[in-house]
Structures are given as C-alpha cells and as structure tokens.
Amino acid sequence: MAVGYVYVLCAAVMWGLIGPASKLAFAAGMEPLEVAFWRTVLAWALFGTQALLSGDLRVARKDVPAVAGFGVFCIAGLFGSYVYAVKLGGAAMASVLLYTAPAWVALLSFLLLKERMGAFKIAAVCATIAGVAGISLGPRLAGDVAGSVPVTVASVLVGLLAGFTYALYYIFGKLYLSRYKTPTIFFYALPIGALALLPFFELRLPSLSGLAACAFLALCSTYGAYSIYYAGLRTLEATRAAVVATIEPVVAAGLAWVMFGEVFTPVGYAGSALILFGVLLAIWEGGRQRLTVPASLLPKKR
C-alpha cells in the first residue's frame, strides 16, 4: 500500500507541473491553444503506441459518438481551457479553479444521473462557491499584494470552464466509457481533440524550447501521470488516492511562487482552502456511498 501512495503522490506532482511548464511554453512564443494542441498530439503518439502494442483498439459502434464527444469536450475542452486559464490568471489560480471539478460532478450527477445530493455534496458545492468568491474578490477585499495573480472575470470563468470540462471525465465514464482501458479511449479521443483545437490557432512548427515544454507536458504530465496514477489505484482505494491527489494545486501554487512570483491575497488563500475543503467533502461523500469512479478515466480528479 505504501508504494501505491508514492505512485499517486508522484502523479499529483506531475499534474501540478502543467501550469509552470505551460508558462515556459508561453515564454518560448507559443499561444495557449497551440500548447494544448501539441500536448495532445504528442500524448497521442505515446498512448497510441501503447494501444497498438497491446492490441486494445476495439470500441463498440454504439460508443463511437461518446468517444468523439469525449475527445471534443474532455480532451480539447480541458486541455485548451486549462492552459488558457494559466495564460490569463497564472498557474496557481488555474490549478485551484480546476479543483472545482468535484462540485461540478455533484451538480451534473444530480441533473443527469439522478444521484442524490447528500449533505456532504451540498456542503462541498457551497464551500466551492464561497472559495471561488474569495479568489475573485480577494484583491478588492484585501488590497493589492505585490506579485498577486491577475484576477479578472475572464481568468475566473476560463478556470471554472477547466473544472467543468474535467468533471465531464466522470460523466462520460459513468455513462459510456468505463469498460474501456485508458489507451483505447485516448487512441481515438486524442486525435479528435487535436482536430477540434486546430481551427483556433495558426499551425506552425514550435521553437525547440517550446516543443520541449510540450513534450514534457505530453510525456510527464499526461502519459506518465495517468499511467502511474492507475498503477497506484491497484493497491489503494479510490477515495484514499483522491485525497493524496489534492496535493496537485499545492504543488502548482508552490512552483508558481518560486518560478514566477505568483501569490494570492490573504482572502484568495482562504478561498483556495475552501475549494480544497470542498474537494475533501466530495471525496468523503463518495467514500460513504461507495461510489466507484471509473478508473479508466478519472484520476482522482483528474
């Protein structure tokens, strides 16, 4: 079991590197959706190779629309919105707003899957809303703080969109895709996601430093993180793995502070803590109800 904790912890750290690595790609002259596109293409080469070698390529015809939807909304949607949130609001705020996903899952599960909204789920949603308000209103309530992350309507909304598209991983998995292995789904969904991103930026060959940052995102924060996370799930309960994975925004915020000087206002830090508290409440509720998160899709969170 100790090895399982190490695997999940390493995966969370790898996910926490997405924001800082994306900022390095921006510094190399790349646009947000350009970064998302190359991350998707390079990750497909890795997952595709694994799927071809294992022979796990079969998808039922009735599930083809679901796989395509997963590619558009969960691959292009998440990869694109998250890296855009990093561009607009910084790596720290993007990573925290990404963790509004459990609140979105609770609401979507209630509306689409008719799952009960228990007391813990309601409290999780309320804590998340209060946390987002704290991050959004922090600069006004606490005054300017040197190096504080740029909080705008656009940066908050795009960050929330990242959390929403991340939540769709659970919905797609619960409804359609839980019986497939991750490489199988990504073999088809990643190129669809790349094509969905293509019309929104000018395709060009990145610089060597930009391509290196995207390769790192594909190898470490996508293929590597997903692979070792699921290795950890073989020896850990999903609820315990989810709790360990909440270190991801802490890693992202810490690196954003060290590398780029990003900080929240005191009210913003309080809001961030409320969002993570909402995550833990949602995880606790999931454990109480013995809900099974599809291990082929949803790492945690993410």
The pLDDT assigned to 138 comes to: 59
Give dist(CA 25, CA 4) in Å, integer.
32
Name the band, by pLDDT with cuts 50, 70 and 90, for residue 165.
very high
Element (H, E) at 259: helix 247-260
| φ, ψ for residue 148, nearest 5 deg | -65, 150
167-216 tens-digit pLDDT: 888 888 777 777 888 899 999 999 999 999 999 998 898 899 999 999 99
Tokens, residue 111: 């509306």
pTM for the model stands at: 0.84
83-95 tens-digit pLDDT: 999 999 888 889 8
- Residue 297: pLDDT over 50: no
Integer CA distances (angstroms), 58 to 25, 55, 64, 181, 205, in order: 35, 8, 10, 10, 33
213-237 tens-digit pLDDT: 999 999 999 999 988 887 887 776 6
Q: How many CB atoms lie within 10 A of CB 267?
A: 20
Name the average pLDDT for the chain.
83
